[in-house]
Structure 1
Amino acid sequence: MSGWVRVHDEPGGLNATFVLARPRSGTVGETQRVAHVFPLPAERPGLLVAYCGFEGRRGELDLLDRPVGMPCERCLVVAARRAGAGTIPQQRRN
């Protein structure tokens, strides 16, 4: 797997190795092309499962070398909790 993923290891942060990726154009609708956080190693070879539960295979994902585009909010919440954030701010409602 390391041949096709960009690995991020955040010292003092998530304490795990993960990749950032989003579905490739044409595999899902444009509004569903959000950037997910996928922990490594994957439990099932060839399949990555994001913190939010989204599943993607090689060839279906654009791997990202930095946070870009619209993030998956569920992945961000789980990543923040794993990094030790004590509280997650509530969504503002206008």
Structure 2
Amino acid sequence: MPEVRDESEGLNGTFVLARPRPGTVGETQRVAHVFPLPAERPGVLVAYCGFEGRRGELDLLDRPVGMPCERCLVVAARRAGAGSIPNQRRN
């Protein structure tokens, strides 16, 4: 499992919400991720949870819809200042 991106600099930058397009992953893996911008690698977005998406593989979302990526939500909430969120249990 990829490493979780949990920097302490806060959720003050630009980010996008996106999920994998149908057919790129199994239906149960089509969760909405939080991707910080700008991307560190051209053509690749890396979500807070470590999920990587490339151009043409993601549907950009204009609002939160569908099943969210829980790991992305926890990191985004911590970065936004919700310090009472416990560390996530690793399975």
TM-score range with shorter-chain normalisation?
A: 0.7 to 0.9
Q: Percent identity?
A: 94
How many residue pairs were aligned? 79
Provide, for residues 15-68 of structure 1, a one-character-per-residue CA deviation record: whole Å limited to 9, x for no partner.
110000000000000000000000000000000000000000010000000000
Q: Give the superposition deviation at 1:14.
A: 1.9
1:57 is aligned to 2:58: no
The one of 35, 41, 44 equivalent to 1:44 is 41
The one of 64, 68, 71 equivalent to 2:68 is 71
Greater Cα radius of gyration, structure 1 or 2:
1
Provide, for residues 56-81 of structure 1, a one-character-per-residue CA deviation record: whole Å limited to 9, x for no partner.
00100000000000000000000000
Runs of 4+ in 1 over 2 A off after TM superposition: none
Stretches of structure 1 that go unaligned for 5 or more consecutive residues are 1-12
Q: Give the superposition deviation at 1:90.
A: 8.1
Query: What TM-score do the two structures reach when normalised by structure 1?
Result: 0.80
Q: Which residue of 2 aligns with 1:25?
A: 22
1:81 is aligned to 2:78: yes
Query: What TM-score do the two structures reach when normalised by structure 2?
Result: 0.82
Q: Which residue of 1 aligns with 2:6?
A: none
Where 2:16 maps in the other structure, the secondary structure is: strand
Q: Give the letter aligned to residue 59 of structure 2.
A: D
